[in-house]
Amino acid sequence: MENALEVERLSVRLGGTEVLRHLSFRVQQGSALAVIGPNGAGKTVLFRALIGALPHGGVVRWAPGTRIGYVPQKLDIERDLPVTGRDFLRAKAEVSGVHGTDLGRALELVNLPPGAADQAIGAFSGGQFQRLLLASALMGKPNVLLFDEPTAGVDEPGEERLYEMIHRVQDAERLTLLLISHELSVVYRYATNVLCLSREEPCFGPPEEILTPERIEQVYGTPLKYHHH
Amino acid sequence: MDWTGLTLSIGMAVAAGLVGCFAVMRRMTLASDAMSHVALPGIGLALVFHFHPVLGGLAALLAGTLLIWWLERQTRISTETVIGVVFSLALAVGSMLATGDELVDALLGAPGTLGRWELALGLAGAAAVVAFVLTQRHRLVIVLVSGDIARTSGIRVARLELLYLLAFALTVALGLRYLGVLLMGSLVIIPAATAKHLARSLDGMFAISAGVAVSATLAGELLAPRLHRATGPLIIAIAAGMFLVGLVIRRRP
């Protein structure tokens, strides 16, 4: 199988601090990589370096023809901004050169009722907004999806549904998925490989190797409970 | 008021209304007001060396725009701070170069008579700004929501931001003769702020903002001679009145 992404000795400095140091890993096409680690370990920084939004050392090599769909962590949007979900999706459709019919399809794929798209984006609930961003990411017909903490700001039943939806979309669209998550049980279930970032050496491998109680304690600094399904 | 002047002021107002929408949504209200002050030293130099004040103002605005764009990319200090210092300095230097009636005209605007080439250039400038906002609105919206989403959608964010700031500077230059250095920023901001409060979608915001800018400008120009008041301040007073009325009108749920 071909690699969708190859990262060699990636380093990122922010304001004099080295946030990421000599990070190397590969992501196969169609696989799912989960990035875990405590707050401040550089998970979002890694994603932003991968999309070229931050200057970095080392090599980030995407397969030729890669189209990235990026779903950022919750954004700071003013509540009364007069931009509706539909305005945003239409903008994304225009920029990606896809047609209006795909807008309905994208909404359907993420289970957003068409009526919800007509409210201002600042008024969306956390879960709805994540779905909207996912729908917009899918409009560009990506073959790689980067998802930064899908369930931040989502209640627990919503969380489960959101992960199931991401998984379903990944299967349906044959996407390579890169996912930042704190939900270790979900990571265990869906990830092909896990990349853990911490102040210690980063580790990389399949979940059954990485998600051992000792490793997790090493990464998070405390024993963390999670359950296999 | 002759029809040529009226045509140009409508073009200027539409451009101001549209450009203002993104200035208000990007929360650069204060920055944009201060930015219009940078035209003053250019006008001052034009008066000293006897060339057209609007050209001097435009040149200074373009230089100021490049300076802000560069500072935003180069330094991590607050842009608002830099703008506050640079543009207060511009106002000070400009006030030393232009004096007396010339200074009052530059600060508050003086419609005067329009040459044919001025009309043509002004209309071309207004058309360019309107075309830019309308064709790039999709890209501008995505950058507004998230620069990272914009980047992964293939949008060149830094270039788009520079073009937006240049459109903003051009709009301010278009309004210098009507509203002057002190008030032109307000015609960009007030109609858009009114629209942001009343509109429920992007197209609605564009329409309301352009509508408020055009009606305030026309009403100001028609009423000024009758009330024996300067045009610029009257336009802004009318726009501000519409903003206050907009605040009172309850937004539909």
Residues of A in contact with B137 (CB under 8 A): 91
Structure letter (DSSP) for residue B249: S
**B219, B241 in Cβ contact below 8 A?**
no
Residues near A108 by Cβ (< 8 Å), separated by ≥ 6? none
- pLDDT of chain B along its 253 residues, tens only? 577 778 889 999 999 999 999 999 988 777 777 778 888 888 888 888 888 888 888 999 898 888 877 877 776 666 677 777 777 888 888 888 877 777 777 777 776 667 788 888 889 999 999 999 999 999 999 999 999 999 999 999 989 989 998 999 999 988 888 888 888 889 999 999 999 999 999 999 999 999 999 999 999 989 988 999 888 899 999 999 999 999 888 655 4
CB–CB contact B152 A95 (8 Å): no
Q: What span, in angstroms and rounded, lies between the C-alpha atoms of A191 and A35? A: 9
Instruction: Give the Cα separation of B110 and B233 in Å (integer).
Output: 11
A208 part of a folded domain: yes
As a whole number of Å, the end-to-end CA separation of chain B is 42
What value of ipTM does the predicted structure carry?
0.87
Residue A31 φ then ψ, to 5°: -95, 175
pLDDT tens for the 229 residues of chain A, in order: 589 999 999 999 987 888 888 899 999 999 999 999 888 888 999 999 999 989 999 999 999 989 999 999 878 788 889 999 999 999 999 998 886 667 777 788 787 887 888 899 988 888 788 889 988 888 888 899 999 886 666 666 667 777 787 888 788 778 899 999 877 877 888 889 999 888 778 888 898 888 787 777 777 777 665 555 4
pLDDT tens for each residue of B128-154: 999 999 999 999 999 999 999 999 999
Beta-ladder partners of A120: A84
The answer to whether the CB of A102 falls within 8 A of the CB of A93 is yes
Q: What is the pLDDT of residue B75?
A: 63
* Residues of chain A positioned with their CB less than 8 A from the CB of B141: 83, 87-88, 91
From the CA of B207, how many Å to the nearest CA of chain A?
12
Amino acid at B239: A
Give kind and range of the element (H or E) at residue A9.
strand A3-14
- Per DSSP, the three-state class of B180 is helix
B93 CB contacts (<8 Å, ≥6 apart)? B40, B41, B44
Q: How many CB atoms lie within 10 A of CB B249?
A: 10
By three-state DSSP, how is residue A70 classified?
strand
CB contact burial A5-22 (16+ within 10 A = b; e otherwise): bebeebebeeeeeebbee
d(CA B239, CA B218) in angstroms, rounded, equals 11
Pick among B29, B148, B200 to test the A interface (most A CBs inside 10 A): B148
* A108 in a structural domain: no
Given an 8 Å threshold on Cβ–Cβ distance, is A83 in contact with B195? no
Which residues 127-166 on chain B approach chain A with CB closer than 8 angstroms? 137-139, 141-142, 144-149, 151-155
CATH code (residue A30):
3.40.50.300
| Residue A114 falls inside a structural domain | no
Domain assignment present for residue A201? The answer is yes
In a domain, A147, yes or no: no
What's the total number of domains in chain A?
1
Are A48 and A124 contacting, i.e. CB atoms less than 8 angstroms apart?
no
Residue B148 and residue A48: Cβ atoms within 8 Å? Answer: yes
A interface test, pick of B76, B138, B139 with most A CB neighbours within 10 Å: B138
Is A89's Cβ below 8 Å from some Cβ in B? no
For residue A94, being part of any structural domain is answered with: no
C-alpha A206: how far from its chain's center? 18
The range of the structural domain enclosing residue A43 comes to 1-66+180-229
Question: In whole angstroms, what is the distance from residue A111 CA to residue A162 CA?
Answer: 10
Q: Enumerate residues 6+ apart whose C-beta is below 8 A from B178.
A: B9, B12, B109, B111, B184, B217, B221, B231, B232, B235
Distance, CA of A35 to CA of A179 (rounded, Å): 6
C-alpha B213/C-alpha B42 separation (Å) is 26
* Amino acid, single-letter form, for residue B220: G
Q: Which residue of B has its CA nearest to A137?
A: B149
Question: CB–CB of B142/B156 below 8 Å?
Answer: no
**In-domain check, residue A90:** no
For B224, the token pair is: 């000024």
* Domains of chain B: residue spans and CATH: 3-246 (1.10.3470.10)
Six token digits for residue A89: 């999706």
If one counts every other C-beta atom within 10 angstroms of the C-beta of residue A113, the result is 10
Q: What is the radius of gyration, based on Cα positions, of chain B?
A: 18
Contact indicator for A68, A53 with CB cutoff of 8 Å: no
d(CA B131, CA B126): 9
Phi, psi for residue A152 in degrees, rounded to 5: -65, 130
Point out which residues pair with A145 in neighbouring strands: A69, A177
Nearest to B201 among A48, A78, A87 (CB): A87
Tell me if A92 is assigned to some domain. Answer: no
Q: What is the pLDDT of residue A47?
A: 94
pLDDT number for residue A24? 92
Exposure of A214 by Cβ count < 10 A (0-12 exposed, 13-18 middle, 19+ buried)? exposed
| The dihedral sign for the CA sequence B126, A93, B28, B80 | negative
**Helix B100-108 × helix B39-48 angle, to 10°:** 140
Contact A83 B201 (CB under 8 A): yes
Q: How are strands ordered across the β-sheet holding A57-62?
A: A17-28, A3-14, A57-62
Q: Does A117 touch chain B (CB under 8 A)?
A: no
- Residue A184 token pair: 């270790």
- The C-alpha of A156 sits at a distance from chain B's nearest C-alpha, in angstroms, of 26
* CA–CA separation, B28 and B34 (whole Å): 10
CA atoms within a 13 Å half-sphere pointing along the CA-CB vector of B220 = 29
